[in-house]
Amino acid sequence: MYLAFLMCLFVLMLCFVMNKRSSCKVYLKDFACYKPPPSQKCSKYHALKTLRQFGYLTEELLDFVKINMERCGIGDSTYLPEIYFEESYNPSMKNERREVEMAIFGSVDMLLAKTDVKTEDIGILIVNCCIYNNVPSLSSIVINHYKLKENIINYNLAGMGCSAGLVAIGLAKQLLQVHNNSYALIVSTESITGNCYGGKDRSKILSNCFFRLGGAAILLSNRPCDHKHSKYQLLHSIHTNTSSSDLCYQSVFREEDEAGIVAITTNKQLVSSAITTIEQNMITLGHLILPMQEKVLYIARKLLPLFFKAQIPNFTSVVDHFLPHVGGKGLLDELQKTLGFSKDSMEASRMTLFRYGNTSSSSIWYELAYVEAKGRVRRGNRVWQLAFGSGFKCQSVIWRAMKTVDHDDYNPWTDEIVGFPVNLEDKETDPE
């Protein structure tokens, strides 16, 4: 009787193991970043001149904007929407739609051209844009424009800030685990056409200083045949959310000022909220990728602070390219100081901030394009993308390069990469 019971148990376990579906591998086939036309290139001087021309800000507040533009780490070749080149600022839904459509269609067109993937083969679509919410949704705009199939699984993520692009990667990963032989298209962008603040609240003016035009399209695949034709394999996707903390929750907030003007408020808790959330995310990530020696040292420092000097684990031993969201110069400085990363590790982020500004959720893809254009991605390299934003949220994604990656004609850095990196300390205000 006992033997029969054991035999039945063995058969049941064998059936369970044989029928259990293994987690399928997810690949990043390719991605594309939108590069606006030269006519939309805007120096800091021109941006300040435009704000003065609009007539909403006092000279005192314009001086405040000028100081912060110089301090935030952006250069004189970023891009702004077309409305910022007009004589007056009167944004409409048509202007906002045009901005996001240019970024979305521009990046998706490049991606389809690079991959030769047919639109009818795309089974999953995720579009993210924090502030601009259209009816029909942005995902519906993409489906209509490219005539994607009727049964496509589609999501539209809004209000999730600069981390939404990597949050979308995590969502796509989960969907690809249950939908075999699929492609997932992710589109990340932001709209700043209708979000130029013209009030008197300094905490709401900062968004005028460093947010710029941009967008990216990413194609993921779980098809086994894409193993040899993809750039990267997705290894880990880690999400951390500290919204339960009032300080973190209120650090980035869209609200009206005293005059009823709607804008994004960034308060003094932003940097501390970001670092707190990022550190929690890194702890979770560290358990997955750090070698045992680093884990033991980290635990020892926590338990025996008198005997061990406090120190952040050495992620450079397991990660070849660190790509944190650009945020702003102050945030990057604090991130580098707190997490102990080298100047070289922060190069892609600082150059992306300088050249393209903060393009919100798409910024991290301009960074990856930068290291590719520099010819630094080798087969087997691990890439760590780190994005954080309102909520407060933090998302880490770890990729492994499937091959040595070089730049191509679609890379937004290709025609100017020889001029980078630039010495940021030597950069001064445009004398125009």
Q: Which domains does the chain have, with CATH numbers?
A: 27-227 (3.40.47.10), 234-401 (3.40.47.10)
Amino acid at 383: V
Instruction: State the DSSP H helix or E strand holding residue 237, giving kind and residue range, or none if neither.
Output: strand 232-241
Is residue 190 within a helix (H) or strand (E), and if so which, with residue range? none
CB distance 401 to 381 below 8 Å = yes
- Specify whether the CB–CB gap between 138 and 164 falls below 8 A: no
Q: What is the pTM of this model?
A: 0.91
Residue-wise pLDDT tens digits, 14-69: 544 444 445 689 999 999 999 999 999 999 999 999 999 998 888 999 999 999 99
Q: Give dist(CA 126, CA 165) in Å, integer.
A: 9
Is the torsion defined by CA of 227, 229, 235, 238 positive or negative? negative
Query: Both tokens of residue 33?
Result: 């970043």
Sheet containing 393-401: give its strands across: 153-157, 122-128, 183-189, 215-221, 27-33, 232-241, 393-401, 382-389, 321-324
* Single-letter residue type at 151: N
Tell the residue number behind the tokens 């995590």, with chain if given.
Answer: 170
DSSP 421: S
Residue 429 has pLDDT above 60, yes or no: no
Q: How far is residue 96's CA from residue 193's CA, in Å, rounded to a whole number?
A: 5
Could you tell me the pLDDT band of residue 11, with boundaries at 50, 70 and 90? Answer: very low
**Residues near 138 by Cβ (< 8 Å), separated by ≥ 6?**
100, 104, 127, 129, 132, 156, 187
Amino acid at 111: L
Rounded CA separation 28/348 (Å): 20
Tell whether the model's pLDDT for residue 134 goes beyond 50.
yes
What digits encode the pLDDT tens for the residues 167-184?
999 999 999 999 999 999
Name which residue leads in pLDDT, 321 or 268: 321
Residue 364 Cα distances to 254, 266, 298, angstroms: 23, 21, 28
CA 416 to chain centre: 22
- 288: its two tokens: 């997955």
Distance CA 360, CA 326 (A): 8
